[in-house]
Structure formats: structure tokens, C-alpha cells
Chains A and B, each alone.
Chain A
Amino acid sequence: MSLLEVDDLHVSFSTPDGVLRAVRGISFAVDPGETLGIVGESGSGKSVSTQTIVGLTQGARISGTARFEGKDLLTMSESELRTVRGAEIAMIFQDPLSSLHPHYRVGWQIVEMIRAHEAVSKKEARKRAVELLGLVGIPSPSQRVDDFPHQFSGGMRQRAMIAMALALNPKLLIADEPTTALDVTVQAQIMALIKRLQKEFGTAVIMITHDLGIIADIADRVMVMYAGKPMEYTDKRTLYHQPHHPYTEGLIGSLPQQGGRGSPLKSIPGLPPSLLRVPKGCPFHPRCVYAMDRCAGEEPPMRQVSGGLDHRSACWLPPEAVGTTTDIVVTRQELARQGRSSAQEESA
């Protein structure tokens, strides 16, 4: 059984400009000890979907299910949820300052966090806090435990957040862009730390990021999101070498590592849509180089395609059209052209 199973999750907010549909039907599963990567551009609904799962979105209309060890988190009472959050599911965020209280000492916050969930003495909890800070690589933890968050550097704050997240040995860690605000050398430290701890404690991880480099580093399976929907779901190797969805192909093509120096990058034209006015049909079709007539009218469902074992994609291109090599791209263009002309014939 999966640790977490999310099925057909929808989240929308009502705003002065109308209903903002931030998440429009995502489903995924995380097994114990596994790492799921969620990748997508900003505003694609990555944070909203995971925050909804742990009951942190306010004022939203939510539907679907999110079963954690069989129990639906979305219908749980707030008090039940509070015992799950922190103890069973921990979260770390891009900005550690937003979750560390500026007026309390770091150690005190970890102690409180432990004591909120477990009946241990203050002394015991403090000992654990020092151990944890040492574990996440804070130098001289027995002194730094009494520091305030602002006395820590950005990397150390993120380490402290990880210490806090791991304090209760959770089964699932949700990491929402934990290294986006950090420099590469510190990012490398933090990623190594997360991987080490995951190995040690067998924690499952949901890693949210916009960086395919991080996905390649840590994820087992990956979900690509666009405009509040999953576009593609597969393992990281298949995603990189044999993507099916044109959006995934565009993301990979946009990376500066691709192609020679100075040659133009294969960027995706246009802009992501407004979530207030998502285009009909495939949400990506206005920017898609392969768009066929069908794409503008009918929304493609997530369906099995032929890249890897469990490889699903929400695109009308034929299931066997996977890959980024020139041959494949040409074939895809050919298929797309057929898609366009066949529809023209039909309408004629």
C-alpha cells in the first residue's frame, strides 16, 4: 500500500476577479521511503496542492481525496490533522524564516515542537534538539541551540528547519523548493543532507522544485505540472530521455545545459495561462508547437504512453511518440501535421 495516495484533487480560490482554479485534478502516490519530484514553473499549483494535503490552505474550495496510510486527510478534523502534521508528515519551505519564529531561540522551538507531540521532559527534548542540530551539520550545536534564527545564515536556517522536520521521525517529508533561495554550494550541502537523512530514516520525500537538476539528483518518480494539472508522470530517466509531453520537452530544451554554447535555446514560446482563464482543451495548446485541431477542443486525459513502465502523459500525441532526439521530434511533427489535416478533412 502506498503511504500517500492523492486522487483527483481540485483546489480553487474565489478572488475578486473570479474563481482561480489553482489545482485541477491531480492524482499521485508516494510509497514509503520513495522520493516523488513535483516539477513545474511558478504558479503551476505545486505548493497549493501539497499545502492542501496537510490542511494548510485557507479559504479554498477543495475536492478529491488524499489518503495517508488509508485515512483521508481532507476530511480529517483539525485536531486529528495536527497530530499527523509534524509527527507523521513534516514540511520544509523555501523561506525558513517564514516558519521559524524570529523571537524564539531555535532550540526552544525544536523543544516545543517535540513536546507538542510527545510526552518527554524539557531536558530530554533539549538533548534531542542538540543531537538533531548536530545531525544536520550545525557546528557546535550545544552552543548554537540557544541562538535566534537571525543569527543563522540562510543555509543554517534551512538545516535547522530540517532538524525540526525530522525531530519526530516523520514518515513523509514535503520539501517545497527548500534550496531555491540558497547558493549552489549550500544547495549541494542541503541536498546531500536530505539524501543522507532519507537513507538513514527511510523517510519518503515529496520534493517540489522548478529545477530539473534537483529532480535528477533526488527523485525516483516525477510529476510535471502545468496550469494546475499534471502533464506527465514517470521515473526521472524516462522523463529526461524519453519525455512524451511537449511541455516536458520544452522544459528540457530550455535548459542552458542543452545544446552548444551560444546556440539558441529551444525555449517555449508565449506565457503560462492565467488560472482565472485557463484555455479550453489542452491547457498547453496555445504554446505547443505540435498542437493539433483536437488539442484546442478536447482536454487530453492522463493516459499510458510507451516510455517507461508507469509512464503517463496528458497529451493527444500518439502514445508511442516519446523522446527528444531529432528523429522523434520530426515524427511527432509529422503526426501532429496529420492530426491537423485529418481534422480538416473531417470538417470538409
Chain B
Amino acid sequence: MTVTPPDQIESTGLSSTLPAAVEAIEGRGPWLLAWARLRRDKVAVGSSVVILGIILLALFAPWVAHLVGHGPNTQFRTTGLSPDGIPVGPGSTFLFGTDDLGRDVFIRVIYGARISLLAGAVSAGLAVAVGVIIGLAAGYFGGAVDGVLSRFMDVVLSLPYLVFAIALVSLLGPSLAISVAVIAFFSWASVGRIVRGQVLSIKEKEFVEAARSLGASHLRIMFIDILPNVLAPTIVYATMLIPLSIVFEATLSFLGIGVLPPTATWGNMLSESIAYYKVAWWFVAFPGLALLITTMAFNLLGDCVRDAFDPRGNRLFVATEE
């Protein structure tokens, strides 16, 4: 039997000759609809504005520091500490007051945001990337592949992460990179599980069979047919994973096994401030508040994203026959 070689498919030749590709009407896809819903959601807009503000402050931290004239690690022993060495409270010189070494808490908080956001975003990103690929493979191939990968995910999820982190740090020495790696290592498995579950149901759909019956490769089916359908829950989970990672990073810093002082991180600041909470409330309050507001904003946004993808009142799509 002969097979028409590629690139030589005859036109169907049956249609009433279309001149060229007809202008296409733009469709309202599921992404666009979710986006439109998100934009109408006041909470989503509010939390996005907060997150954007924090990102901007973090980005422009050196510039702000320059403007104020206070470096993150500059110690203002005369202006920043009372004569008996007590930190000064919030005022016009030091917006959020100073810490035990006479450093500007405001500047340190916005420098800390750099670490927190970076650690949060990078480790969440890594975790999602790894989790999606592993979950996709486990769910799609099933059988032995799934058996091995799923057991591996179970093991990771049941490891005591703090013990593991302390052990790793004592071996390699604390640093931001190690923190990010540790956080990502302990987060990808939950992403993987979610993705695997979704893939299991989606791979039974007829459109996957249709792709198979056309001769599509495994990779094509996994990434073109299945992945877009698991992306929505993944994005929702990723939005929730960022604050978790931020808190995780703060915990590591707080315990002294994350980013080391004097680098300003929220975790470091909190750990340093503990001894002073009676005399200098601002020292503990502002980094704590920054952590709280950031995680809350991300969590709220995550909730809104989920609602946007999965609205209660399902829409009624109606095609119009022009």
C-alpha cells in the first residue's frame, strides 16, 4: 500500500474554495475567562496590589536605602541607639525604628523582602517544575513507573524536614542556595501528587485517545494534551506554595541554618529581636508583620485564583451561528 509522503497532502478540494486563510474570530478560552473573573474579584486585585508593592519595595530596596541614606547593615550607634544602648522607636529618621545594633529596621525589612521573595519564588518554581514532570510521568505511564515514583514521593513527604535540613546544613554549610534547595526538595512531592491525581483522570478522556489514535507520541500527549489541563490546579497550588516557602525560609533563617547574619532576612530579624521584644516592640513587630502580610496576600490570591478557575455558577457557553 502506498502512503502519501508528508508535505504532499492534497487539499480536500471539496470546500467552496476558500481564498486564503479566513480571518478568525477570537475565542474566549478558559484562561481568558479565568483572567476576566480574576480581574473582577476585589480581593484578588487587592492582594495583587499588596504583592506588587512588596515586590517593588524589594526591587528598589538599594535605591530606597540610598534615598534615606541608611544601608541595611549600617549601624547608627549615635542616632540609632539611646544613650544606654536601647534601640530607638519608629520616628521620622527611622520609619520602623532601629534594632539592637542601631540598624534601620525599615531598610532591613525591605532588604529582607528580597531574600524572602527570591527564596519563595525560586523554591516554589523549582518544586512545581520537578513536581509537574514527575507527577506527569507517574500518572501518564502508570504501572511500574508510577509505583517507583509514587513510593519516592511518599518517602519525601514522610521525611522529617527540619532534621534533614539541619543535617544537610551541617554538612554543606548554610547559604541561600542550600535553603532554596532544601525547600524545593521538600515541596515538589506534594505538587507531584496533585499532578499525578489529575493526570490519572485526564488520561482517560477521549481526547487523549483521539491523540493516540492519530499516532501522537507520548511526549506530545503529555505536554500538549494533558499538561494544559493540569495547569490550572498547579497554578493554584503554586500560589499557595510561595507563602509556604517564604515561611519555610524564615524558619530556617530563624534557626540559624538558613541565610546567615548579618544579611537581613525576616527570619534573622525575628530571631535577633526575640530578646528585645519587651523594650523594642517594633523590632519584632515589623518583620513579623511583613511576613504575615506577604503570606496572607499570597494565600488570598491563591484562593481567588482557584475560584476563578472553578467558578460556582458554571457558565453557559452558547455558540452563535452567524
Q: Which A residues lie at the B interface, using CB under 8 A?
A: 15-17, 20, 270-271, 274, 276-277
Contact = CB atoms under 8 A, between A and B. Distances in A.
B151 interface: no
Contact of A276 (B311, B313, B318, B321): B318
A20 B313 CA distance: 13
B172 interface: no
A54 B315 CA distance: 26
Contacts of B316: 15, 17, 20, 274, 276
A270 B313 contact: no
A276 to B, nearest CB: 7
A271 B321 contact: yes
Given A16-B313, A17-B316, A274-B318, 14 more contacts: A15-B313, A15-B316, A16-B311, A16-B315, A17-B315, A20-B316, A270-B321, A271-B319, A271-B321, A274-B316, A274-B320, A276-B316, A276-B318, A277-B318
A271 B321 CA distance: 8
A270 B318 CA distance: 13
The secondary-structure label for the interface of chain A is loop
B32 to A, nearest CB: 15
Contacts of A271: 319, 321
A81 B316 CA distance: 31
Top 3 closest pairs, chain A to chain B, by CB: A274-B318, A16-B313, A270-B321
Contacts of A274: 316, 318, 320
Contacts of A20: 316
Contacts of A270: 321
B281 to A, nearest CB: 47
Contacts of A16: 311, 313, 315
Interface in B275-322: 311, 313, 315-316, 318-321
A11 to B, nearest CB: 16
A20 B317 CA distance: 13
A276 B316 CA distance: 9
A105 B132 CA distance: 42
Contacts of A276: 316, 318
17 contacts: A15-B313, A15-B316, A16-B311, A16-B313, A16-B315, A17-B315, A17-B316, A20-B316, A270-B321, A271-B319, A271-B321, A274-B316, A274-B318, A274-B320, A276-B316, A276-B318, A277-B318
